[in-house]
Amino acid sequence: MHTLAIIDMQSEFEASKNKDLQPSILREINLCRRNNWPIILVEYFNSGNTCRFITNNLRNYNKLLYIIKYEDDGSMPIDRAVRTITRSKNLRVVGVNTDYCVKQTAVSLARDYGYKVNIVDDGCWTLYHTPPNNVDLYKTSNENMCHRVGIRDLKMVKNISVICKRKHM
């Protein structure tokens, strides 16, 4: 059994508006529905509502929890939520701001809480004006660079794996 954590897919985060993310996140939601796995929607405090394409697809799903976090690292509230619904320490992670929230949460869950974390590559995104060092670039539009950040670094952390489903553009 796995638990899906959907991190910061909220209206205040520009990266959440990337249309390429929608099919990937919906695929993960459908996987959870088919297997009756729990889903945790993680929202950063005071940063808008979770995107409608997600909440509409989760109506009446009985294994859904909403949690609020107050900092980039959402590992503590995720751990509390997971322990209320399952004993499984297997997590799948999707979401935005890979360089901060997704990365910090995944590393803390693996290192501090002993979870096996699978980051779904095509379900994560970051929006930047200038690319940082050591990133894999996928697409450029207007002045912004859209890319995944720190994925290579995460592969080196014990108990973290990256599920690569993205088609390079």
- Those residues whose C-beta lies under 8 Å from the C-beta of residue 9, and which sit 6 or more positions away, are 16, 21, 25, 41, 50, 51, 54, 94, 95, 96
Reported confidence tier of residue 158, pLDDT bands at 50, 70, 90: confident
Percent of the chain with pLDDT over 90: 64
Return d(Cα 66, Cα 135) in angstroms, integer.
31
What per-residue confidence (pLDDT) applies to 152? Answer: 59
Residues 68 and 101: beta-carbon distance below 8 Å: no
> Residue 77 pLDDT > 80, yes or no?
yes
Residues 67 and 28: beta-carbon distance below 8 Å: no
State the residue for tokens 């980051």: 119
Reported confidence tier of residue 144, pLDDT bands at 50, 70, 90: very low
> Residue 89 pLDDT > 70, yes or no?
yes
Span 16-27, mean pLDDT?
A: 92
Return d(Cα 54, Cα 104) in angstroms, integer.
23
What per-residue confidence (pLDDT) applies to 128? Answer: 60
Burial (CB < 10 A; 0-12, 13-18, 19+), residue 60, is exposed
What per-residue confidence (pLDDT) applies to 147? Answer: 44
CATH level 2 (architecture), domain 3-163: 3-Layer(aba) Sandwich (3.40)
> Residue 94 pLDDT > 50, yes or no?
yes
Return d(Cα 90, Cα 1) in angstroms, integer.
7
Which among 117, 47, 46 has a CA at the least distance from the CA of 78?
Answer: 117
Burial (CB < 10 A; 0-12, 13-18, 19+), residue 159, is middle
**Phi and psi for 101 in degrees, rounded to 5?**
-65, -50
| Average pLDDT of the chain to the nearest whole number | 84
> Residue 66 pLDDT > 90, yes or no?
yes
